[in-house]
Amino acid sequence: MRTMGTTNFKNDNKELYNSFVRSKIPVKSVNEIYSVFSDYYDLSMNHIDYDGWASYLAIISDMHDFTPNSILDLACGTGSMIIALDKQGHKQIDGCDLSHFMLKKARQKINISVNNPHDINLFSCDMRKLNCVDKYDLIISLNDSFNYMNSLNDLKLALESCYKQLNDGGTLFFDLSSESNIFKNFNETICEKFLRGAYTWANCYDPTTRILYSNLDFLDYASGNVYRESHKQRIHTLDEVEKILFEIGFKETDMYGGFSLAEPIYSNEVFHIWTRKIM
């Protein structure tokens, strides 16, 4: 095995990176999204204030005179929101995600970041087919997870699934990425470098179908390989969502724009929806 000094190693990385951004390295496609991205996710999302998000949720909960005893973080990713909710003193929090890779990261973080990590149940599940042992007072789903429902039928299946897993009087709180967000932040290729590798994030949005196609290419310095994850998200309108929620049986639906308590407007990059199950 050849060894190298730090300087040569950095130079080799620089050459690899230059070849990567010029698309000179063959790309190996991976079938499961977030299988590679899980290693980069927290670095890529380090701008997100999860504690602030938890405080925002607490404010809206107080506005509705609502105190949940049990919470499910749906599409929990690497567990950052679970940790933020634990800091607030919530005792019964579970998390589920479709990706085993993200759940592995979540477990590692939770084990070192919360007081009673073994009280937090993590499991893999498709949000369209939730089959939890318990029902919950509150289900949250953040960071555009519902945008991964690529059709209105899939969106309805996911919302119906949440409805069934809520206790009577329970609440679903989720967000949606807006079309304005796509035009502002996903109109050019993103490129980031890290110690272990780099990635590019290229996007193409079809305003007719409201589908965002994204190719995330990851360069691994150690192997010199490039792996591609292809993501697909749909921009759902608030009218579509409100209609589906009504059809399912949710009541008292409130919508907010841009991490505020104001009604959503087109320029908001994210919308938040609060809706309750009342039999």
Q: What ranges do the domains of the chain cover? A: 25-43+180-234, 45-178+236-277
Alpha helices in 166-237 (DSSP H): 179-185
Do the domains at 25-43+180-234 and 45-178+236-277 have one common CATH topology? no
Could you read off the pLDDT tens digit of each residue along the chain, which spans 279 residues? 223 334 444 667 889 999 999 999 999 999 999 999 999 999 999 999 999 999 999 999 999 999 999 999 999 999 999 999 999 999 999 999 999 999 999 999 999 999 899 999 999 999 999 988 889 999 999 999 999 999 999 999 999 999 999 999 999 999 999 999 999 999 889 999 988 999 999 999 999 999 999 999 999 999 999 999 999 999 999 999 999 999 999 999 999 999 999 999 999 999 999 999 987
Task: Quickly tell me which residue has 């496609």 as its tokens.
Answer: 29
DSSP secondary structure string for all residues of 112-163 = HHSS-GGGS-EEE--GGG---SS-EEEEEE-TTGGGG--SHHHHHHHHHHHH
Among 242, 275, 261, residue whose Cα is nearest residue 56: 261
- Pick one of 3.40.50.300, 3.30.420.10, 3.40.50.150, 3.40.50.2000 as the CATH number of 45-178+236-277: 3.40.50.150
What does each C-alpha distance from 88 to 8, 85, 242 come to in angstroms? 47, 5, 30
Topology, domain 25-43+180-234: N-terminal domain of TfIIb (2.20.25)
